[in-house]
């Protein structure tokens, strides 16, 4: 039986964990290693770590930090941020990471997706698309560099291109919904899901497991990811790393 995954997505910022709202104002959450240890004990399906500084600063991934995270992580791990070459990917996989996500480089050099999928297997290559709706006209466009750089690419057509290049999974991250905890952009997810035949992961906006259930059941995404839902607790958003019991998730998502 294939289960829909429920994935914490954690942002690395200045060596620690942070959470943003609409990709702005990173709020310090805590130590990434401590978070990994907590999630290890909670039967988490998978973890995604995204370094939100590396591409903006034009630097390589922080291999030392990645190694520390991977050495403590006993669940499937995906890393993204600052990855621009096959050699970098080799280093990261050698540290114990199972998947690598590409974002800006997937747009600038989509042939890297093809080369990586042929070398490492498509299941190891994830593409994250950060997408925002324009204020005028409501058109969607892909952004990079922490939402600051509009690539002026239509998401559906680019998603199809990614599939043809060999990407194994596609993370659709809504900039508008990021940190709002009011639900995913269902319209966006539906359009992408209908256009591609690889697993689609929804990210941006989850405030409850019901938000996740809705897009899994109504749209058919393969997985849902969230940040705020798993690092905040209560009406005042007190910082608390959390994850529901495995039985509760499976019960909610069962047919």
Instruction: List, by residue number, the catalytic residues.
Output: 130
Question: With contact defined as beta carbons under 8 Å apart, do 169 and 197 qualify?
Answer: no
Q: How far is CA 138 from CA 23, 57, 132, 187, in A?
A: 19, 30, 9, 12
Question: With contact defined as beta carbons under 8 Å apart, do 153 and 166 qualify?
Answer: no
Q: Strand (E) positions, the chain?
A: 5-13, 16-21, 24-30, 47-51, 77-80, 99-102, 125-133, 140-144, 149-150, 169-174, 200-203, 223-226, 232-233, 238-239
As a whole number of angstroms, the distance between CA 137 and CA 152 comes to 14
């Amino acid at each position: 039986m294939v289960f829909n995954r429920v994935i914490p997505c954690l942002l690395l910022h200045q060596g620690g964990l942070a959470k943003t709202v609409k990709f702005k104002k990173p709020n310090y959450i805590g130590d990434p290693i401590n978070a990994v240890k907590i999630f290890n004990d909670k039967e988490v399906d998978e973890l995604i770590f995204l370094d939100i500084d590396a591409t903006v600063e034009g630097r390589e991934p922080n291999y030392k930090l990645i190694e520390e995270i991977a050495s403590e992580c006993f669940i499937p791990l995906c890393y993204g941020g600052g990855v621009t070459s096959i050699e970098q990917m080799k280093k990261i996989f050698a540290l114990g990471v199972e998947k690598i996500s590409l974002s800006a480089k997937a747009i600038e050099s989509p042939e890297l997706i093809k080369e990586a999928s042929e070398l490492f297997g498509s299941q190891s290559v994830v593409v994250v698309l950060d997408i925002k709706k324009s204020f005028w006209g409501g058109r969607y466009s892909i952004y990079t560099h922490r939402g600051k750089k509009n690539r002026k690419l239509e998401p559906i057509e680019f998603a199809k291109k990614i599939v043809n290049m060999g990407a194994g999974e596609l993370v659709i991250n809504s900039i508008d919904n990021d940190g709002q905890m009011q639900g995913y952009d269902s319209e966006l997810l539906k359009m992408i899901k209908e256009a591609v035949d690889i697993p689609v992961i929804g990210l941006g906006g989850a405030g409850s497991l019901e938000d996740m259930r809705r897009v899994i059941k109504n749209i058919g995404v393969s997985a849902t990811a969230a940040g705020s839902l798993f690092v905040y607790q209560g009406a005042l958003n007190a910082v608390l790393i959390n994850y529901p019991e495995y039985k509760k998730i499976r019960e909610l998502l069962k047919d």
